[in-house]
Amino acid sequence: MEIKEIIQDNITVLDLFGKIDVNSAKTFQEKFSEIAGRGDKYVILNCENLSYVSSSGLRVFLMFLKHINKIGGKLMITAMNEIIYEVFEISGFLPIFNISKTIEEAKKEFL
């Protein structure tokens, strides 16, 4: 997987590319550690270019959520495809994550 990061108006947007499986979840977790270490409070995880997320990747999504809730920030997940949405639904993640269709919509949630 690849991750592109943009920070604008105090909001960190991570564009996730490829797939998050057992092998690539490590890259995602390293990015989490970097962001958690920096103390970023407002984060968008954009899934527009992501094909799927396995349970190894869900673990990192959950790490983001727990950490950002703890520091009083907000996490948004955007542009999930059908498979990723289905995996979130099956995993009982939909009620605990903030989800929106686009980055623009997500940014409004931070206002």
Partner 1 sequence: MENKIKLEKFTILLYNTVIKVFFKKIRHKICISNDLKELEKISKIIEIFSNDACLTCKTTSALGLILDELLSNIIFYSFPDNKTNEIKILFEKSRKTADVTIEYGGIEFDPRNAPKPNLESLAEDRQIGGLGIHIVLKMTHLFEYKRKKEVNTIFLKLKIDKE
* Binding positions for partner 1, rule: CB under 8 A: 19, 21-23, 51-56, 58-59, 62, 65-66, 69-70, 81-83, 86-87, 90-92, 96
In the complex, the smallest distance separating the C-beta of residue 10 from partner 1, rounded to whole angstroms, is 23
**Residue 40: helix, strand or coil by DSSP?**
coil
**Beta-carbon contacts of residue 35 (< 8 Å; ≥ 6 apart):** 12, 14, 43, 64
CA distance 4 to 16: 7
Closest distance of CB 69 from partner 1, Å: 6
Residue closer to partner 1, measured from CB, 5 or 98: 98
Nearer to partner 1, 55 or 102 (CB): 55
Token digits of residue 8 = 């604008």
**Coil, strand, or helix at residue 90?**
helix
Indicate the residue among 39 and 92 with the shorter CB distance to partner 1.
92
